[in-house]
Amino acid sequence: MCENRTVSIREAQHESVDLPTTICSEKIHRIHLFSYYRLNSKSNDRNLLGLYARRKSHQSLSLTKYYYKVYMPMIEENARRDEDYKRSFLHGTGLNVRPTHPVDFAYARGLLILHRPWSLDNPIKLEDKEAAISEAEELLLNKQVPIYVYTAYNRVVKEKLRGGLADENAGTDYYNRPQDEEDGGNDLLDGYDYPNSATRPTNGKQPDGIVGGQTVDVGLTYDWSEKSFKGERDTKVNGEDYIKWAVEKAKQHKPAASAQENDELDIPDLKNKGKYSLHSLPNEQQTIALAVIDAVWKFLTNDKDFKPLRATVMAASGTGKSHMINTIVTVVRELTGVNNSVYVAVPTRGTAHNIGGSILHKLLLIALQKPWEELPEESKMMLKRKLQTLQVLIVDERNQLSSCEVAAAERHVRMCAFGGQNKSTMWAGIPVILFVGDDYQLPPILLEGAIKGYANRKTTDQHAPEKGNDKQVLTAEGSSQLIDVLTRNVFELTHAHHHQNPDTEQHLQLLERVRRGYAKPSDGEILTGLHWSLIQEKDDFKKHIETSPTTTYLFAHNNVKDEKNAELLAETSNRTKNPVARLRYVPKQTARKVNCDLEKPLWKKPDVTTPTDICVGAKVAINAINYEPSWGLYNGASGTVVDIVYDNKLGPHAEGINHLPRYVVVDMPGFKPPKLIGPWDNNNPTVRTNLQTLNKIFKTS
């Protein structure tokens, strides 16, 4: 029998400490903290603890700082020359140093041994437990511990206070401590709810009138039938029907839309500054663009020197690859007079919209779950029409592609480009195949890509194996494409065009070292020094950053993200005086299957309440569905609520299904529907999104 359980990071470190870290760049150096009690003037231990206790210099360094600044450089001076050298990091064992709030003696003892300077001549006074706890608290409050220690304790405090579990009697003195004037009042608990305002019950349900720990107006006396939007609208259909109507109309007019696209060239817009031009490209980008145009021109003119261009472009973030791609698209479409002469494909929907491209799977009709499966005849005919005039295929985010996907893309292009008349030639002989990406970024998850494919290669044979199942053969073919075929020509964009301030040059060099895996110890100190909790408030700098509309918050866990969203929603509601509509969806007890607008229905347990709090002016995002990625309506696309439309005065306080709005109007800046469809409101080009978008796409009517 087997069982699963969640273990703490500390326990995971203990479990993994004796395992070979063959794929790690670091190793663990264990130090037995209990040995502190065995130290005396007669001991002559040569281990870390003994050397630190008897040191004659570096008296101001804690044990942790001494390890990294003195001990590790000393013992690893020769080890650094070893090919298998791994940087080690310190891990204390033998005593319980798990963060607790309020701080207990076990945690205080571990903190003091690791992070407070001491020696045999100046030992820690652990006999007085209360004094030790007080001294450890001072270390935390004054931020005299490493950032990872400070953050771990902060997390424990937060969870304690958020859950309303803090012991008010034990914490009274702690909360009333005077704030450090030099710290600008930004003490350890700044930004968290204190016990007397922690209103969220332990079952996780938010009481009415409380959002993100703040009191908000939930519109108990508000007339919800009154529209928030006061302007004049020019609409084609009812708001609740717009998305479905638009998608159906696009399907019905697909042949006409294709013809229209080929009659009227779709030239990328340079942010209302004209069009993309070869002359505006820097030298690195211009070299690549000219190589593409040269191959296309020689193909179209039957030049005897024509050779298909198979190339990879290494491009880090900020080097202008999107600008280069849009320029190539502009020039090739103007040269050929056909939109379908060039396609741009990417593995993710957000990136597809940003560069005006398509999702690779959708463009080349690759099966998501089984890309090795053959194309059905109907799909082949459809793809042949699409690729009839293809000259250039650009694939961005190369690092995220699996070998299977690349091989499937090559096979589909070979079978369908030019009407399927060139099946015996790789990539059907189309003039240009250009893969763009950064192999230093994240590779495909759990799948073989360029890096893993190269590591798995056992011979220099460039041919894929003829034996094995379809997936194995296709994976080998794709790895060969990524490693051999598409690297016949390799370009690299190195100049960061998004950062033109000369003061940032040193910072860019640091980021490049981190990107390539050559970071210095000083780089780590600089980056950790930029941790938000360590930045002091001055002239409302932090407030400006936090409230800027261009600021993006990144979280490792959904619960922290949800808490921040609730906090910002409450701030928006209180600032704009717009009431919060609390929407809930409760499936019937007998229902096991939840209907939705997806091809594959979602499954949920009965009696699950999924609340969604929104207000006019709040930021929202499409969640778990892609309506039409090419229009800008993809999973993750965000916008601002303009109106919440009800037919009754009670609004979200009505009973049952009546508490849901007819629809919600959201301003989506990235929404670009086809011309034959147009926006929902011609006077105010916004797009409607309803509860299905905001609340896991559950269909509630």
CATH number for the domain harbouring residue 350: 3.40.50.300
- Do 363 and 305 lie in one domain? The reply is yes
Distance CA 325, CA 344 (A): 8
Last residue of a domain, one of 493, 524, 550: 493
- Do 448 and 333 lie in one domain? The reply is yes
Break the chain down into helix, strand, coil percent, rounded to 5: 40, 15, 45
Q: Which residue has the higher pLDDT, 177 or 447?
A: 447
Q: Report which of 468, 438, 475, 485 is spatially closest to residue 453, judged by C-alpha positions.
A: 475
- Do 99 and 220 lie in one domain? The reply is no
Using CA atoms in the order 310, 314, 315, 321, what is the torsion angle rounded to 10 degrees? -10
Last residue of a domain, one of 165, 197, 229: 197
- Do 180 and 259 lie in one domain? The reply is no
- Do 173 and 225 lie in one domain? The reply is no
Distance CA 636, CA 648 (A): 31
Exposure string over 620-654, b if 16+ CB within 10 A, otherwise e: bebeeebbbbbbbbbbebebbbbbbbbeeebbbbe
- Tell me the average pLDDT across 454-474: 65
Tell me the pTM: 0.58
The pair phi, psi for residue 31, each rounded to 5°, is -130, 130
- Do 150 and 232 lie in one domain? The reply is no
Task: Give first-to-last CA distance, the chain, whole Å.
Answer: 44
In a domain, 59, yes or no: yes
In a domain, 231, yes or no: yes
- Do 50 and 103 lie in one domain? The reply is yes
Which residues span the domain enclosing 529? 505-536
Q: Report which of 579, 662, 571 is spatially closest to residue 222, judged by C-alpha positions.
A: 579
For 437, the 3-state DSSP assignment is strand
Q: What is the pLDDT of residues 194-211, one digit of tens each?
A: 222 223 333 344 445 777
Helix (H) or strand (E) holding 522: helix 521-529
In a domain, 500, yes or no: no
Residue type, 561: K
- The pLDDT > 70 percentage for the chain reads 74
pLDDT, averaged across the chain: 76
> Regarding beta strands 309-315 and 489-493, do their DSSP bridges make them parallel or antiparallel, or are they unpaired?
parallel
- Do 189 and 293 lie in one domain? The reply is no
In a domain, 682, yes or no: yes
pLDDT at 686 over 50: yes
In a domain, 4, yes or no: no
CA-to-CA separations, 123 to 54, 127, 371, in angstroms, rounded = 11, 11, 65
In a domain, 8, yes or no: no
pLDDT at 435 over 90: yes
The tally of domains found in the chain comes to 4
Q: 105-115 and 129-141 are packed helices; what angle lies between their axes, rounded to 10 degrees?
A: 60
- Do 151 and 56 lie in one domain? The reply is yes
In a domain, 2, yes or no: no
Distance CA 668, CA 681 (A): 12
Last residue of a domain, one of 483, 513, 536: 536
- Do 210 and 351 lie in one domain? The reply is no
Q: Is the peptide bond before 347 cis (omega within 30 degrees of 0)?
A: no
- Tell me the average pLDDT across 21-40: 72
Give the per-residue pLDDT at 361.
85
Distance CA 683, CA 678 (A): 11
Show the CA angle centred on residue 438, arms to residues 436 and 443, nearest 5°: 110
Q: Report which of 394, 387, 434 is spatially closest to residue 415, judged by C-alpha positions.
A: 387
Helices (H), 554-629: 558-576
Number of Cβ within a 10 Å radius of residue 580 = 24
Q: What is the pLDDT of residues 150-163, one digit of tens each?
A: 888 888 877 766 55
CA 390 to chain centre: 33
Distance CA 650, CA 184 (A): 45
pLDDT at 96 over 60: yes
- Do 237 and 184 lie in one domain? The reply is no
Q: Report which of 209, 211, 169 is spatially closest to residue 193, judged by C-alpha positions.
A: 211
- Do 603 and 697 lie in one domain? The reply is yes
Q: 585 is written with which tokens?
A: 């969806």
For 252, the 3-state DSSP assignment is helix
Q: What is the pLDDT of residues 318-341, one digit of tens each?
A: 788 888 999 999 999 999 999 899
Q: Which residue has the higher pLDDT, 133 or 41?
A: 133
